[in-house]
Amino acid sequence: MAVLDNSEEGLQETTDLLCMYGAQGVLRINGKKTEDMVIGKATSQRPYMKEATVKASGAFNQLSNIWKNRNIQSYTKIRIYKAAVLTILLYGSEVWNTTKKQLHRFEVFHQRCLRRILRIRWLDRVRNTEVLERAKINPVETFIGANRLRWFGHVTRMPDTRLPKYLLNWTPAHGRRSRGRLRKNWMKCLLEDAAAFTGNTDIDLEGASEMASDRKLWREMIRHKREFIGAGHSND
């Protein structure tokens, strides 16, 4: 459940009311599982994304014994990395509106982890594309795009009465955009993902929604694009 407000005081009041009415139904809010997020032009996703990188780095370092173990195949190590590190790094990426600069930072982290797993030293002068080829894994941008598209498909197939479906197509009826270049929003990122995954550079929201309405087709398209083409087991 999500509550929105335009001030901290209003958000606190709304949360208190939610607690009060929830108690009438013998429901209690778990404070440890509750998070807050500031959304606005004055803020950005950078602090949140930096925190995700720090947490993922911590998880990666805790598994150092696995990365150093020569008795474990590289294929198995990559699977562990995807399950235990990438999931932390990309938590919540379904709703990110990423910029090229942010994607570059994530890819730097991704490459650093892969090179350590595969024992590729910086002086070996191995290109990033070759590192991905050896690891049989896609760049971070592909994983983020897949997560966004999967969430978009999930929301698109919701009944029109659901709040996420309403907000997906909602346009403010008041207010005025501030001066300056228009910031890249989530929908723009989504259409770029849809163009990359479908191969149709002219795809629009209506076309993406129509494709996403077929759950089996949509999920298969995402799965095929997310998997590394020609992936196989590495025995080194």
Q: What is the pLDDT of residues 7-37, one digit of tens each?
A: 888 889 999 998 998 899 898 888 888 888 7
The Cα–Cα gap between 53 and 194 comes to 26
Residue 91 has pLDDT above 80, yes or no: yes
Q: For 93, which DSSP code?
A: G
Confidence (pLDDT) at 148: 96
Residue appearing with tokens 């942010």: 102
What would the mean pLDDT of 159-182 be, rounded to a whole number? 79
DSSP 38: -
pLDDT class of 129 with cuts at 50, 70, 90: very high
Average pLDDT over residues 139-163: 94
- DSSP category for residue 178: P
The whole-angstrom distance between residue 73's C-alpha and the CA centroid of its chain comes to 28
Average pLDDT of 210-235?
78
Give 206: exposed, middle or buried? Use CB within 10 Å, 0-12, 13-18, 19+. exposed
pLDDT score of 109 more than 70: yes
pLDDT of residue 6: 79
Query: Is 38 a residue whose pLDDT tops 80?
Result: no
Tell me which residue of 13, 55, 11, 54 sits closest to 36, measured CA to CA: 11
Listed range (38-42, 137-141, 224-228) with the worst mean pLDDT:
38-42
Residue 232 has pLDDT above 60, yes or no: no
pLDDT for res 183? 75
Closest CA to 92 of 144, 40, 54, 140: 144
What confidence score (pLDDT) does residue 169 get?
80
Confidence bin at 235 (pLDDT 50/70/90): very low
**Looking at residue 31, what DSSP letter applies?**
G
- Domain residue spans of the chain: 12-137, 145-169+183-226
Rounded Cα gap, residues 141 and 103, in angstroms: 6
The pLDDT value recorded for residue 229 is 61
- CA 96, CA 186: separation in Å to the nearest integer? 7
The alpha helices in the chain, defined as continuous H runs, are 8-24, 46-62, 64-68, 74-81, 87-89, 100-117, 128-135, 140-156, 163-168, 186-198, 205-212, 215-226
pLDDT at residue number 81: 97
